[in-house]
Amino acid sequence: MFTKLQEECCKANLLLPELGLVLYTFGNVSCVDREKNVFAIKPSGVDYANLKPQDIVVVDIATGNKVAGTMRPSSDTNTHLELYRAWKNIGGIVHTHSTCATAWAQAAKDVPVFGTTHADHLANPIPCTDFMPDERIKNDYETETGFQIIDCFNNKHLSPDENQMVLVAGHGPFTWGKNGEQAVYNARVLEELCKMALFTCQINPDAAPLKASLIAKHYERKHGKNAYYGQK
């Protein structure tokens, strides 16, 4: 019943070690089927080298219950669940602990738009959430992490359709996209943007963000209504 979705999710998960975004069993990818109102996600603690499509767990979005798979789903499942519930346009989510993105998350800093590579992908700083308050940590932590991300976007007046990445303070990065493969692409881009920003700050601690006109030009030529990047 969910074979195609499980295969898609497994393939996307296997891209993470291939792209150098995970170590050991770190990280996870999920993929959604909006028609069936379910999402598939990596099982908890399973080595990528041993991961097979039939291992992928399927979760009902309405109830949060497992509907396919024999293993326990990722410990981050409830975070994915809340993002799918809140943001209807996303079709895949990635969470990693990639080095540079996690370093910025641990520093609890937004990543400034220092250059056109960043502006090609989003016109804003990469947002970082606030640290989670103690009373929320004591609740369902993974569910609260989802709310933490949603609150960050609401408070900063950001669109999840235009800004497909976030840093969770003290934790690490989450990205999303129209499907699992695009979410993985965004995770790889996020890591590279964070690395570039780190080097920029090391070379020039007083580096200023890119001027607004250049940010707008690079973002619009790739994503605007008159975009001309790539092929028709």
The CATH number of the domain holding residue 164 is: 3.40.225.10
Q: Give the integer Cα–Cα distance in Å for 62 and 78.
A: 12
pLDDT over 90 at 56, yes or no = yes
- Which of 33, 60, 110, 120 is the catalytic position? 120
Please indicate, yes or no, if residue 106 is contained in any of the structural domains: yes
pLDDT given at position 231: 79
| Contact between 30 and 82 (Cβ < 8 Å) | no
Domain interval for residue 101: 3-223
* Residue 110 appears among annotated catalytic residues: no
* Overall number of domains in the chain: 1
- Residue 229 placed within a domain: no
- Percent above pLDDT 70 for the chain: 100
Average pLDDT on 88-115 reads 98
Overall average pLDDT of the 6-21 stretch: 98
pLDDT of amino acid 226: 83
pLDDT for residue 185 is more than 80: yes
Catalytic status, residue 140: no
Q: Does residue 175 lie in a domain region?
A: yes
Domain assignment present for 228? no
Domain-located, residue 230: no
* Per-residue pLDDT at 229: 81
At 187-218, the pLDDT tens digits run: 999 999 999 999 999 999 999 999 999 999 99
At position 99, the amino acid (one-letter code) is T
Q: Which residues of 174-205 are buried (b: 16+ CB within 10 A; e: fewer)?
A: bbbbebbbbbbbbbbbbbbbbbbbbeebeeee
